[in-house]
Amino acid sequence: MANNPSALITGSIRSFFTLLVLSFLLAGASATGAEDGSPRVTDGIPFKIGGDVRLRQTYFDNVPYYRDKYFSDTNFLRLRTRLWAEIQPWEDVSFRGRISNEFRYYFEPSGTTNYRFPDEIFVDQLYVNVKKLSGGSLDLRIGRQELRYGTGKIIANGTPKSSGRTEYFDAARVTWKGIKDTEIDIIGIYDRPTNNLVINPQGRDLTGYPSWREWMTEAGFGIYIKNKSLPKLTIEAYSIYKRESSWEFDGDLYTDVGRVQIYDPETNMVKVPALQFNTFGMRIMPQFTDTLEGNFEAAYQTGYYDGGTPKTGYMADFLLKWKMPFLHRLKPVLGAGWYYTSGRDPSKDTEEGWDSPFARWAGYSVIYQTTLSYEGGGRWSNVNMYYSDLTVNPLPWLQSNFMIGYLLAPVRDGGGDGNIRGWLASIRANFQLAESILRKNDTLRGELRLEMLKPGDYYPENDLAYYARWELVYSF
């Protein structure tokens, strides 16, 4: 059943209708509230249920990712199904859980058997949410949850190697609102390399850097402050501590994974020692006029590897957005930005490359996330990018975004002889297709995306690289 189109179709139908049947069975058990979308009530306890089915096809070709290595002719379908439930036994206390599954069919490379049907069925949300403690000023959430702050440069994805299946953190978050116009979050995170709440486990590495398994545990804690006391100026500040456990790999694989390494010739294994570092940063969001706003963020990090090698890094992210005062029907928004992350200079004894504490994900570009995959997909380190984008709404149900960027490498460590990473262009369209199809308030939406990269002299070759995908998502 692994790589058979009929198996994909059969599996898709089974997953789709299994979720629908479970949803309607749970809905049928409710006494009130099902028709208007309000929480259902069973024995006086409100609860909610829902889910989604996502079908996505991805294609990319000639994408450089390590020295003279390239991803070429990769084309596959992926089907993800999720079902969630939330129960509220008391007014300010709720429990939420979600189970997920994803399997794939590869057109190219043919014969690929990863993510076969039915694949893993895993828990990617399971938490308790308590509100209005301590006189109403304190909220608490403990368990497996999703976290994202700001534009996703610091905390955004707890499972960076899951390839978009999920983004959960095993975490605890306390939010204090005791100061006017201020929220203070205290966060603790402990992410294991594999999911321990799973049926039919496949042993997939979720937290590491390279494409092979290295079983790295990520842990940390921090404070994130948001303040809106100044008119037309939101300020955020944070301090995040992180520790990455040591990991090792076969010395016959790659020779450089962007990390301090210790090679053992007797075992032919390369060990990357444990790393701990602190990241301090600030983000401000000024509203200059009714049509012009900004987002400016900067961060610095310092720490060390076990053994004493020091580690530093820094990041800057600047963006201006202009809501253009004409063509009102299209709602055009023009942006201009600069994103900079320090790089690791292999000639120095210190590690100076930027590491997002818990935010390795696609960010600005999926194709460029792939180019960075040899040392960790989404590890936007050693990048200097200037870009501009335009967002328009040509139809009430359609939003389009066009982006072009020019990328450099602060440190020349690529397979070529220069520091020009290249030109990047992307086109994305998000559309809402239908609502209330099978039940009240369900939706069907889709996305089309095309990205192109013209590599520069940072790479040994400069053939045009492509990334394309389409997807449909039914949510209920």
User: In this prediction, what percent of the chain has a pLDDT beyond 70?
Assistant: 89
What confidence category does residue 212 fall into, taking pLDDT thresholds of 50, 70 and 90?
confident
Q: What is the mean pLDDT of residues 395-409?
A: 97
Structure confidence at residue 347 (pLDDT): 80
User: In this prediction, what percent of the chain has a pLDDT beyond 90?
Assistant: 70
Structure confidence at residue 17 (pLDDT): 46
Query: Which tops the pLDDT comparison, 21 or 249?
Result: 249
Structure confidence at residue 21 (pLDDT): 45
Q: What is the 3-state secondary structure (H, E, C) of the chain?
A: CCCCHHHHHHHHHHHHHHHHHHHHHHHHCCCCCCCCCCCEEECCEEEEEEEEEEEEEEEEECEEEECCEEECCEEEEEEEEEEEEEEEEECCEEEEEEEEEEEEEEEECCCCCCCCCCCCEEEEEEEEEEEEECCCCEEEEEEEECCCCCCCCCEEECCHHHCCCCCCEEEEEEEECCCCCEEEEEEEEEECCCCCCEECCCCCCCCCCCCCCCCCCEEEEEEEEEEEEECCEEEEEEEEEEEECCEEEECCCCCCCCCCCEEECCCCEEEECCEEEEEEEEEEEEECCCCEEEEEEEEEEEEEECCCCEEEEEEEEEEEEEECCCCHHHCCEEEEEEEEECCCCCCCCCECCCCCCEECCCCCCHHHHHHCHHHCCCCCCCEEEEEEEEEEEEECCEEEEEEEEEEECCCCCCCCCCCEEEEEEEEEEEEEEEECCCCCCCEEEEEEEEEEEEECCCCCCCCCEEEEEEEEEEEC
Q: Of 116-120, 131-135, 159-163, 231-235, where does the model show the most confidence?
A: 231-235
Is the entire prediction scored with pTM above 0.85?
A: yes
Q: What is the pLDDT of residues 175-211, one digit of tens each?
A: 999 999 999 999 999 999 999 999 999 989 999 887 7
Query: Which CATH number describes the domain made up of 5-475?
Result: 2.40.160.100
What confidence category does residue 249 fall into, taking pLDDT thresholds of 50, 70 and 90?
confident
Say whether pLDDT at 5 is over 90: no
Q: What is the mean pLDDT of residues 142-149?
A: 98
Q: What is the pLDDT of residues 359-381, one digit of tens each?
A: 999 999 999 998 887 767 789 99
What confidence category does residue 134 fall into, taking pLDDT thresholds of 50, 70 and 90?
confident
The mean pLDDT value of the chain amounts to 89
Structure confidence at residue 415 (pLDDT): 86
Q: What is the pLDDT of residues 35-90, one digit of tens each?
A: 444 566 656 688 999 999 999 999 999 999 777 778 889 999 999 999 999 999 99
What confidence category does residue 256 fall into, taking pLDDT thresholds of 50, 70 and 90?
low
Structure confidence at residue 324 (pLDDT): 96
Q: What is the pLDDT of residues 326-342, one digit of tens each?
A: 888 999 999 999 999 99
